[in-house]
Structure 1
Amino acid sequence: MDERGMRVRWARRLGTEILMDFKRCAVLLRAKITGVLPLYQRPRERRTNYRDPSTASYGSLCTGMSMGWTSPVLPQLQRLESSPLPHVPTLQETSWVASLLVLGGLLGPLITVPLSRRVGRRWIIMGGNLPLLLGWLLAGVATNLETLYVARIMWGCATGMMFATVPIYIGEIAEDEIRGALSALFLLFINVGFLLAYAIGPFTSYWGLTATGGILSLLYVPCTWLIPETPFYLVYQGKLDEASEILQSLRGTSKEAVQAELDGLQAVVTREFKEAPKIQDLWATRGNVKALGICVFLAMLLQLSGIDVLLFYMEELLAKVGTTLSPADGTIIMGVVQVVTSCVTPLVVDRLGRKLLMWTTSLGLTIFLTLIGIYALLDSYYKIDVTPYAFLPLLFLIIYMILFTLGVGPVPWILVAEMFPVKTKSLAGGICSFMCWLAGFVWTRFFRDVETSYGIYTAFWILAACCGIGFIFSATLLPETKGKTFDEIQDMLNNRNKEDKPVDV
């Protein structure tokens, strides 16, 4: 090799080493600040701690894209040259296009709850592919509103199945100290899906966006074949050897090292499943009633904070509240904010705790939704010139999205996976998901009616009032579950001391 070649090779090697040193320093600095151990410093086998929850959560990216699909598509449906429909839909018809996905979400828990004990979490996640792909197919060939309605219902069904199953799946395969961080991956992937819809939609046709969503959803099919069944479900089915093997893979350790955790799962199954689960179990103990009340309220608050309204109608809302930025550009900025904040959420949810995140973020949502309403009142009702302050609505919405993504969005689903006894977890999770989608359907369906009749500022103030109630609830009644095992959480909910705990048999 000549001298010049040797110099080039040496320079490349030096550059690579400097880049690697820089990356290591950055990761170590982050670890120093957050207390999170860098992934490359963990045993190589334990990377499945992140691989399997991420693979399972990829489906939420696909459903997130179907939920964000309406933001760029609804304006396109108003232009016949870019619409598959033979006529421009009315205000009521576009409201149904948006809200029927949320109505379809009600079907998810009705499917998952009866099947959860019979087929397991993995097969339910795989089954969510069917309505998801069918929805993209119908949207791609739609030439009338009725076909679009069915497509939206199919997407909603798939989304409801994901919301009811994936958080429980992650909670059952995660270690206690990183359970919250892994559960937050679910929301991260949803927000990536929204960002893709927001970023692709304004710069392509209706069919281009729909085809992209269908291709990404098709890729989810092989992903679901890669995820394992949860050790808990395998123990429940009596497949102890298979449960031990999966635990060894998840924890990156030996059979002897996971034996204590396997014995604990066996003890839980023996204690909790002496009889088949039934709906009466949800109110059999004080702890169950308390957990159900907390999680149902927070799941409904998630929707009543207005997140689906903002996500479904993002472009229209940015145009109506008076911002001077292009609605398409503003929507992309909002999507980027969602994703970036979702990357921060796993780092703080286990460090700051669920209670602190809930009451601080719900208080922040109350304040900024109120401010957006005041701005809209001055602009649209009193006709005051607010041009010098036209940046404020987008700024307030960005702060809203940051706060929602840090607390009000992920925490309810983390608590669903944490607060219920294993016997009632699937049933309770299905009920929480059902109530979440019911609240979302009512609000997304009638938001435009409230806006038309009473002004968009009134709609924002209603959202602010709901978040204010959530703040009071979270600050006074919500217990902290950070870093606690399932048994410790049950002891806390039932006000049990160690001597009061049931004896394993």
Structure 2
Amino acid sequence: MFEVFKKQLKLQWRQYLAASLASYGSLCTGMSMGWTSPVLPQLRGPNSPLPRVPTLQEESWIGSLLVLGGLFGPFITVPLSKYVGRKWIIMGSNVPLLLGWLLAGVATDLPTLYVARLAWGCATAMQFATVPLYIGEIAEDKIRGALSAFFLLFINIGFLLAYAIGPFTSYWGLTACGGILSLFYVPFTWMLPETPFFLVYKGQYDQASDVLQKLRGGSKEQVEPELEGLKAMVTREFKVEPKISDLWATRGNVKALGICIFLAMLLQLSGIDVLLFYMEELLAKVGTKISPSDGTIIMGVVQVVTSCITPMVVDRLGRKLLMWTTSLGLTIFLFLIGIYALMDNYYGYNVAPVAFIPLLCLIVYMILFTLGVGPVPWILVAEMFPVKTKCLASGICSGMCWLAGFIWTRFFRDVAASYGIYTAFWILAVCCGIGFIFSITLLPETKGKTFDEIQDMLNNR
């Protein structure tokens, strides 16, 4: 078994390296997303860069504007993807990413912080729409799911870095760390090869063959069948230029679009961005006795460790099983957090003997989300759509994901302030419960299936 593993690693390490380099940007955007958790308390302190303490509404805008900025990403990636390629869009995400860190570093007022958050959101959305697509086009079918999970792994490493560095340094120290780490993404993206599919689409067959040889670790003759398959696919799929109406041209496309949009929105409606952006604040509000900064570090470590496990299970257990089990688990544990908060904050019961429950539930929440609800929607986007509509579908799903995320991150704290933190957690639980029912009844299994098999299944053939 070990010899088989060594042989596979020798042949596939280039694909793992390319997926890692492409996903490194999500580490940087993960830091920008987790930045609010340790920074918001600092903005209320004496060493804040702002001239006054921000109000609750202003803090909500600081948190939610990153997600609003994500709505601009698809408008950049979708029109450009068929002209400049996946590599250059990934490289282009460096521009708003670095701009955000620069603006956050020099900010002395709220409008500058707002613009920084919008820039980070644009960079994040460009990567969400392009990096999973890039990985899906460079990966062999048998390791496609595992490589696609790298994207979420690097995001969680970014969150952990923000959680671990933020409480022990100043506002400027955390921001400088994020900016320095983001600078490394510039040379990393230069090293990325363009995807073989895009090169074939542009008629650059020799370059596509060279890239396939490097990625697969084989000779020209060995990659020739895959190259011919790509040529045949491009010839079949791109007889006419793709248009948005292609997304509902067949029953299978309509079904795939509905599934992926729902799951992309569920990803946000499960409350992940709310928890990650306001982790320290939420741990304090639900009454856990551990310090909020220590709690966020524990949560970050759990995310990263679980993300390392995800690539090993996503292609073994299947997409459907992961989605319904994890969404059911999220429903249960979010409901339990709500009950705890109701007993503690509303009725005033002595909950000291069970003070570990909120942190334990949130840890389990992070494990379940990272195993299923988080990575599966983006894997399905890369698997379910015909090649010529995949980029359009990815952009639409990404846009709907960010729209749902903006609404929730903007108004979650208002709901908590008006109706109690327990009510807000119960709303999250209901959303996850709907996701559980959807996954059980309507989500097909795509594990180990070729694209043609997936299309036959979606079209009931």
2:40 corresponds, among 46, 64, 74, to 74
Structure 1 SS opposite 2:290: coil
The Cα offsets for residues 42-62 of structure 1, whole Å up to 9 and x where unpaired, read as 363531020000100000000
State the distance in 2 between where 1:459 and 1:117 align. Answer: 42
In structure 2, the partner of 1:239 is 204
In structure 2, the partner of 1:61 is 27
State the distance in 1 between where 2:212 and 2:436 align. Answer: 39
Instruction: Give the gaps of 5 or more residues in structure 2.
Output: none
Give the aligned residue type for 2:23: S
State the distance in 1 between where 2:214 and 2:455 align. Answer: 28
Give the aligned residue type for 2:333: F
1:52 corresponds, among 3, 13, 18, to 18
Give the aligned residue type for 1:49: Q
Could you tell me whether the CA contact under 8 Å between 1:112 and 1:124 is conserved in 2? yes
State the distance in 2 between where 1:486 and 1:238 align. Answer: 22
Deviation at 1:82, TM superposition (A): 1.9
Give the aligned residue type for 2:356: F
State the distance in 2 between where 1:465 and 1:124 align. Answer: 37
In structure 2, the partner of 1:157 is 122
In structure 1, the partner of 2:454 is 489
State the distance in 2 between where 1:157 and 1:282 align. Answer: 24
Structure 2 SS opposite 1:424: helix
State the distance in 2 between where 1:110 and 1:44 align. Answer: 39
State the distance in 2 between where 1:344 and 1:465 align. Answer: 27
Does the alignment pair 1:349 with 2:314? yes
Give the aligned residue type for 1:72: P
In structure 2, the partner of 1:407 is 372
State the distance in 1 between where 2:329 and 2:318 align. Answer: 17
State the distance in 1 between where 2:10 and 2:375 align. Answer: 28
In structure 2, the partner of 1:22 is none
In structure 1, the partner of 2:182 is 217
In structure 2, the partner of 1:358 is 323
Structure 1 SS opposite 2:184: helix
In structure 2, the partner of 1:230 is 195
Deviation at 1:109, TM superposition (A): 0.6
Does the alignment pair 1:127 with 2:79? no
In structure 2, the partner of 1:193 is 158
State the distance in 1 between where 2:113 and 2:124 align. Answer: 16
Give the aligned residue type for 2:378: W
Give the aligned residue type for 1:55: L
| TM alignment of 1:110-125, pairs within 5 A | 110-125=75-90
Could you tell me whether the CA contact under 8 Å between 1:103 and 1:438 is conserved in 2? yes
| TM alignment of 1:462-477, pairs within 5 A | 462-477=427-442
In structure 1, the partner of 2:102 is 137
Could you tell me whether the CA contact under 8 Å between 1:43 and 1:252 is conserved in 2? no
Give the aligned residue type for 2:449: K
The Cα offsets for residues 229-286 of structure 1, whole Å up to 9 and x where unpaired, read as 0000011000011101111111111111111111111111111101101010000000
2:219 corresponds, among 254, 272, 280, to 254
State the distance in 2 between where 1:448 and 1:342 align. Answer: 28
State the distance in 2 between where 1:43 and 1:418 align. Answer: 23
Structure 1 SS opposite 2:388: coil
Could you tell me whether the CA contact under 8 Å between 1:46 and 1:249 is conserved in 2? no
| TM alignment of 1:89-108, pairs within 5 A | 89-108=54-73
In structure 2, the partner of 1:459 is 424
Instruction: Give the gaps of 5 or more residues in structure 1.
Output: 1-26, 32-36, 497-505
In structure 2, the partner of 1:41 is 7
Give the aligned residue type for 2:320: K
State the distance in 2 between where 1:307 and 1:169 align. Answer: 24
State the distance in 2 between where 1:45 and 1:460 align. Answer: 46
Give the aligned residue type for 1:466: C
State the distance in 1 between where 2:255 and 2:199 align. Answer: 28
Give the aligned residue type for 1:241: D
In structure 2, the partner of 1:387 is 352
Q: Percent identity?
A: 80
Q: How many equivalent pairs are there?
A: 461
Structure 2 SS opposite 1:42: helix
Give the aligned residue type for 2:52: H
| TM alignment of 1:272-311, pairs within 5 A | 272-311=237-276
Does the alignment pair 1:369 with 2:334? yes
Structure 1 SS opposite 2:449: coil
Does the alignment pair 1:87 with 2:52? yes
Deviation at 1:495, TM superposition (A): 2.0
Higher Cα radius of gyration? 1
TM-score where L is the length of structure 2: 0.99
Deviation at 1:488, TM superposition (A): 1.7
RMSD over aligned CA atoms reads 1.0
